[in-house]
Amino acid sequence: MTDVNIAVNIVKAAALKTYEAIYLLSGDNDLIPSLKTALEISPDIKIRVVLPINAKAKSLMSFCSDHSLRYIRIKESLLSSSQFPDPVFIKDLRYDKPEHWN
């Protein structure tokens, strides 16, 4: 139900005009109808799409281009440089990064 909840909240935000901008972190082409509806309801709403690593979202990218919406791809180098040091200590508790993140 995650995709449905995202789509409903995109349309709801546009209908209620509760936000000036929507940032969608997804590469799911199935969300295009909700973005299209949001733009029809509220043409001034700013929509930005952030595509995860390896997202195959050609239709979503085309939709963004066709509607002058900005989109970016997350790069693995950005994620690598954004990680906390290993380990992290918070109030004398030690948190280690999972081995498969190295």
So where are the chain's domains?
2-75
Distance CA 10, CA 3 (A): 11
Distance CA 31, CA 27 (A): 9
pLDDT band with cut points at 50, 70 and 90 for residue 5 = very high
Residue with tokens 């280690």: 96
Distance CA 46, CA 41 (A): 12
CATH number of 2-75: 3.40.50.1010
pLDDT of residue 40: 96
pLDDT of residue 84: 85
